[in-house]
Amino acid sequence: MAQNQSKMMRQMQKLQEDMARAQEALADESVSASAGGGAVTVTISGALEVLDVKIDPAAMDDIEMLQDTVVAATNEAMRKAQELANTRLGSVAGALGSLGIPGL
């Protein structure tokens, strides 16, 4: 029994290390999304930080529309970044579930 616990602890430690590496790698990746026909483009890191916002000067004519477009582009970029994270971290999470620990 102690041998099984030791093996499981090593596996858990390896998974934690794999998860940390995957999270670090995500911080170096980014996704972009546009809204308003390209009037606004938002770039977000895999760590869910807004890196850049580009606004077409022509969009400045209608501030309310511009505000809505910034929100739409940001939300879409966040969705894409979350998908990226799920893809990158999914394999590690799947390995965690394969350990057979109740409640995981």
Give 72-102 pLDDT, tens digit per residue.
999 999 999 999 988 888 866 666 666 555 5
- Please give the pLDDT value at position 62: 94
Q: Which residues contact 23 (CB under 8 A, 6 or more apart)?
A: 47, 89
The pTM for the full model equals 0.72
The pLDDT tens digits of the residues spanning 7-49 come to 888 888 888 888 888 888 888 899 999 999 999 999 999 889 9
Q: Which position has the higher pLDDT, 90 or 60?
A: 60
- Please give the pLDDT value at position 99: 58
Residue 69 CB burial class (10 angstroms; 0-12, 13-18, ≥19): buried
- Please give the pLDDT value at position 98: 60
DSSP 60: G
Give me the phi and psi of 32, to 5 degrees please. -130, 150
Q: Which CATH architecture has domain 2-96?
A: 2-Layer Sandwich (3.30)
Euclidean distance between CA atoms 31 and 58, whole angstroms = 24
Write the single-letter amino acid at 58. Answer: A
Euclidean distance between CA atoms 74 and 41, whole angstroms = 8
- Please give the pLDDT value at position 100: 59
